Every structure is written in C-alpha cells, then in structure tokens.
C-alpha cells in the first residue's frame, strides 16, 4: 500500500500529504511517524496539508493523535497549509484540532519550531533626560504586550 513519505530536514521531520488518503494510509502515517521520531531524535514535525481537498473527522482525529504521540516522544507537531475552505468546514463539522499548532506555510512552521513565539523586543529606557523617552518606552512596551498603541493622556 502507498505510504506518505517522511523527510528529515535538519532537526525537523517534514510530511507533505499530496494524495487523497485512505483511512489505512492515515493510520500507517501515524505509526511511521512515531518510529521516525524515535529513530532520528527530531524535536519537531511539520505536516503540510496543502494538498488535501478536505479534512474529515477521521483525518482530523489522526492529526490530533499524531500530535499527542509526538508530544509524548518530546517532539512538537505543526500542521501547515490548511486551505480556507477546509478550515471553514472543520469548524462547522465541530472538529477542534486539539493540541495542534498551526502555521500558514512550511516556512513559518519551521520558524515556530526553531525560535518559538517571538519575544517582545527589549526596550532600553534612558532616564537621564527624563520624560519623553521614558513615555515612548512605556508606549512601546504596551504596544508589544497588547498589540496596539497606548493612548497617551493629552
């Protein structure tokens, strides 16, 4: 039976699903991935589903299970490349991909695995001449934390 190929790129295992999977094939991927994680000691798994027209409850559950298995084996799973129509359908179907991190594409998935979430930029506060620069720093910190500019009192 056909298998989904698993590629090792640096410390990451990359799985690109390009065909309409039979259920057996999805089950096989689950087993194969577990073995490859242990074999390679990789800490991250990226599953590219750009090629999937649909994700039904079976495939969704398989992705969740893969993520759980990986976590137990000390690797993180990121699903990338979900089509918008697939996302809409998944939500309506009632499937929440539990424990799965997602990213737009393989590149962003790789970034997530290598550096984690972006930390807020450290802001140097120069108090020597006082007021304006400090306020600027406060505003920048607030921006970094809240994602929006803080209104300065007038």
Partner 1 sequence: MTTRAGAGTRQCQTIAGDEDVVRVRQLVRAHAVAAKLSLVDQTKLVTAASELARNTLVHGGGGEASIETIDPAAGNGPRLGVRIVFSDKGPGIADVDLAMTDGYTSGVGLGLGLGGARRLVDEFELDTAPGSGTTVSVTKWAR
Binding residues for partner 1, per CB under 8 A? 20-24, 53-58, 60-61, 83-86, 88-89, 92-95
To partner 1, the closest distance from the beta carbon of 102 in angstroms equals 17
To partner 1, the closest distance from the beta carbon of 51 in angstroms equals 14
To partner 1, the closest distance from the beta carbon of 119 in angstroms equals 37
Instruction: Write the CA distances from 8 to 33, 44, 130, integer angstroms.
Output: 11, 10, 53
88 vs 149 by CB, closer to partner 1: 88
Collect all residues with Cβ–Cβ distance below 8 Å to 67 and sequence separation of at least 6.
77, 79, 97, 98, 99, 100, 101
1 vs 119 by CB, closer to partner 1: 1
DSSP string of 66-83? Answer: HHHHHHHTT-EEEEE---
43 vs 83 by CB, closer to partner 1: 83
Collect all residues with Cβ–Cβ distance below 8 Å to 57 and sequence separation of at least 6.
93, 95
What is the distance between the alpha carbons of residues 134 and 126, in angstroms, rounded to a whole number? 7
To partner 1, the closest distance from the beta carbon of 141 in angstroms equals 41
40 vs 89 by CB, closer to partner 1: 89
What is the distance between the alpha carbons of residues 68 and 64, in angstroms, rounded to a whole number? 6
The alpha carbon torsion through 54, 57, 59, 64 (nearest 10 deg) reads 130
To partner 1, the closest distance from the beta carbon of 66 in angstroms equals 15
């Amino acid at each position: 039976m056909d298998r989904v190929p698993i590629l090792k790129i640096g410390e990451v295992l990359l799985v690109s699903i390009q065909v309409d999977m039979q259920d057996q094939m999805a089950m096989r991927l689950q087993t194969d991935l577990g073995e490859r994680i242990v074999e390679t000691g990789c800490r991250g798994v990226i599953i590219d589903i750009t090629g999937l027209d649909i994700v039904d409850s079976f495939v969704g559950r398989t992705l969740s299970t893969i993520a759980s298995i990986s976590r137990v084996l000390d690797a993180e799973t990121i699903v990338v490349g979900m089509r918008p129509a697939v996302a809409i359908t998944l939500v309506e179907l009632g499937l929440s991909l539990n424990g799965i991190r997602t990213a737009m594409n393989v590149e962003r998935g790789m970034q997530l695995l290598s550096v984690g979430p972006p930390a807020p930029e450290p802001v140097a506060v120069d108090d020597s001449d006082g007021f304006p620069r400090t306020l600027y720093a406060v505003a920048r910190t607030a921006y970094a934390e809240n994602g929006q500019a803080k209104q300065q009192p007038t």
